[in-house]
Chain A
């Protein structure tokens, strides 16, 4: 049985192919302007990796912000459900009770009960503070490649305190800190702490229990993980490929719906 999940995020499109409930291929690409075209490209990358052809895939489920735009999928589900399903599967033995998912333009927190059933969630898609975009824009301001933000921030000895919430104001604040000659690593850790504060306060409203699963693209940032652990005062579980958890969940749902038919 072969199924696929395509997660059309605001910033990246991700595809995952499952063969007999094993991940055999995936693809990731920047969303760009034409969501449909990107989803097709990402899907072919995943097919190539899996050594499969499009006709081999029996069912495709799309998710994410652009889930209705892609012409590949015949079914779509919300990213909350897809992410929850992905974590139930990937983290079945971990005892996950909270998911913090940080996306390109939004942030979600999902709470599970003791049977790993979703009981509550919160989403911020109204404000860029605490999203991947916040990190992206400030990395550009600092002229540091996004991938280097994490490792660089770990060198920080005296993180700055970013006092503004709004990304636009934070940009001016960071510009002023650069002007003052503060160390890049201290500014970057300050930025990570600012995002972590936003995420943590949102997570606490939903309820943080036991194992916290941290996913979404920015969860690859080691400095972000460090800041989250510091802010929440507990360990975070970060999967190997945090960016494709939601796409994996969509592929699983595709497989289950196929079985149900």
Chain B
């Protein structure tokens, strides 16, 4: 019998960016893509997936599951499953650091804090999804106001000799506040450090609300900002871990959430040992 490789795809349709990740045998990430979600998330996601398969030389038929997550997960009609970002991020984070008790996901439109219990199961979570303060689009707006790229914002904030105090939480009002700070001659570094401190405090409030004192993993695109991580470490004051590619944790979690038990069912494979996606769909009632 030929050894068959199993592939799953996780797609995280975020408010700003869509991330797709190809997972082999439930453990090896063989490819990933990220790009703006745009107004047509399905088109974007489909193109990403096809691109991933092409560059890895894999047939669509060899993919056992496509699992969607993120705010726009329901727009992907070609996905086999849709899971909330809470579940996906928790799963992704737990797979990398089983000792993490708290997962902080700072996404484009939402901040989520998940507390994980036994086996990485979410036991509690807090979100800030009604308000854009502290999210990726907050960071974007501030970077635009300061005329710096989000990529360089983190490192520049670390060079600040003092930290400005941002008094408005509201993205719209903070933008005006930043503009007036620039006019008063405050340096970009000081303002950036102030923004990171303000955001860190907001996230700390969500963390405190969970009551957890365990190890923390920070993920989501904004976790790439080193200045924010430093501020978070200061206010939360405990072991904090940022994965190498924090943006993809949701997509990774989604791919890992592909059901496995069906595959183990002997009837699921034909004589040549290849798992038939159509069979899985039928078994799960999506055919």
Across the interface, do B170 and A128 meet the contact criterion of CB distance under 8 Å?
yes
Contacts of B183 in A (CB 8 A): 33
Across the interface, do A166 and B130 meet the contact criterion of CB distance under 8 Å?
yes
Which of A105, A126, A166, A179 is B132 in contact with, Cβ under 8 Å? A166
Closest to B133 in A: A166
Closest to A175 in B: B39
Q: Is A118 an interface residue (CB 8 A)?
A: no
Query: Given A33-B183, A176-B39, A179-B39 in contact, is the A165-B130 Cβ separation under 8 Å?
Result: yes
Query: Given A105-B173, A128-B173 in contact, is the A168-B137 Cβ separation under 8 Å?
Result: yes
Over the window 127-139 of chain B, the binary record of Cβ atoms lying under 8 Å from chain A Cβ atoms (1 yes, 0 no) is: 0001110000110
Q: What CA separation (Å) do A179 and B109 show in the bound complex?
A: 19
Over the window 143-179 of chain A, the binary record of Cβ atoms lying under 8 Å from chain B Cβ atoms (1 yes, 0 no) is: 0000000000000000000001111110010011001
Contacts of B137 in A (CB 8 A): 168
Q: Is A77 an interface residue (CB 8 A)?
A: no
Contacts of B168 in A (CB 8 A): 126
Across the interface, do A126 and B169 meet the contact criterion of CB distance under 8 Å?
yes
Q: Which of B215-244 contact A (CB under 8 A)?
A: none
Q: What CA separation (Å) do A172 and B141 show in the bound complex?
A: 13
Q: Which of A230-257 contact B (CB under 8 A)?
A: none
Q: What CA separation (Å) do A252 and B13 show in the bound complex?
A: 57
Across the interface, do B171 and A172 meet the contact criterion of CB distance under 8 Å?
no
Across the interface, do B132 and A169 meet the contact criterion of CB distance under 8 Å?
yes
Over the window 161-190 of chain B, the binary record of Cβ atoms lying under 8 Å from chain A Cβ atoms (1 yes, 0 no) is: 000000011111100000000010000000
Contacts of B199 in A (CB 8 A): none
Q: How many residues of A contact B (CB 8 A)?
A: 17
Q: Is B86 an interface residue (CB 8 A)?
A: no
Over the window 27-49 of chain A, the binary record of Cβ atoms lying under 8 Å from chain B Cβ atoms (1 yes, 0 no) is: 00000010000000000000000
Closest to A176 in B: B39
Across the interface, do B172 and A168 meet the contact criterion of CB distance under 8 Å?
yes
Q: What CA separation (Å) do A33 and B181 show in the bound complex?
A: 12
Across the interface, do A168 and B138 meet the contact criterion of CB distance under 8 Å?
yes
Contacts of A164 in B (CB 8 A): 130
Q: Is A127 an interface residue (CB 8 A)?
A: yes
Q: What CA separation (Å) do A165 and B183 show in the bound complex?
A: 30
CB distance from B70 to the nearest CB of A (A): 14
Contacts of A133 in B (CB 8 A): 172
Q: What CA separation (Å) do A67 and B130 show in the bound complex?
A: 32
Q: What CA separation (Å) do A166 and B132 show in the bound complex?
A: 6
Across the interface, do A127 and B39 meet the contact criterion of CB distance under 8 Å?
no
Query: Given A105-B173, A128-B173 in contact, is the A165-B39 Cβ separation under 8 Å?
Result: no
Q: How many residues of B contact A (CB 8 A)?
A: 16
Across the interface, do A127 and B15 meet the contact criterion of CB distance under 8 Å?
no
Q: What CA separation (Å) do A105 and B171 show in the bound complex?
A: 12
Contacts of B171 in A (CB 8 A): 128, 166-168
Contacts of B132 in A (CB 8 A): 166-169
Q: What CA separation (Å) do A167 and B130 show in the bound complex?
A: 10
Contacts of A127 in B (CB 8 A): 131, 169-170
Closest to A164 in B: B130
Contacts of A176 in B (CB 8 A): 39
Across the interface, do A169 and B109 meet the contact criterion of CB distance under 8 Å?
yes
Closest to B174 in A: A128
Q: Is A206 an interface residue (CB 8 A)?
A: no
Interface centre among B15, B109, B173 (most CB of A within 10 A): B173
Contacts of B15 in A (CB 8 A): 172
Contacts of A169 in B (CB 8 A): 109, 132
Over the window 102-129 of chain A, the binary record of Cβ atoms lying under 8 Å from chain B Cβ atoms (1 yes, 0 no) is: 0001000000000000000000001110
Q: Which of B93-139 contact A (CB under 8 A)?
A: 109, 130-132, 137-138
Q: What CA separation (Å) do A81 and B138 show in the bound complex?
A: 34
CB distance from A8 to the nearest CB of B (A): 15
Q: What CA separation (Å) do A167 and B141 show in the bound complex?
A: 12
Q: Is A21 an interface residue (CB 8 A)?
A: no
Closest to A172 in B: B15
Q: Is A73 an interface residue (CB 8 A)?
A: no
Q: What CA separation (Å) do A126 and B183 show in the bound complex?
A: 22
Contacts of A166 in B (CB 8 A): 130-132, 171
Contacts of A172 in B (CB 8 A): 15, 109
Closest to A179 in B: B39
Q: What CA separation (Å) do A105 and B172 show in the bound complex?
A: 9
25 A–B contacts, CB within 8 A, in A order:
A33-B183, A126-B169, A126-B170, A126-B173, A127-B131, A127-B169, A127-B170, A128-B170, A128-B172, A128-B173, A133-B172, A137-B172, A164-B130, A165-B130, A166-B131, A166-B132, A166-B171, A167-B132, A167-B172, A168-B132, A168-B141, A172-B15, A172-B109, A176-B39, A179-B39
Counting from the closest, the 3 A-B pairs by CB-CB distance are A168-B132, A128-B172, A179-B39
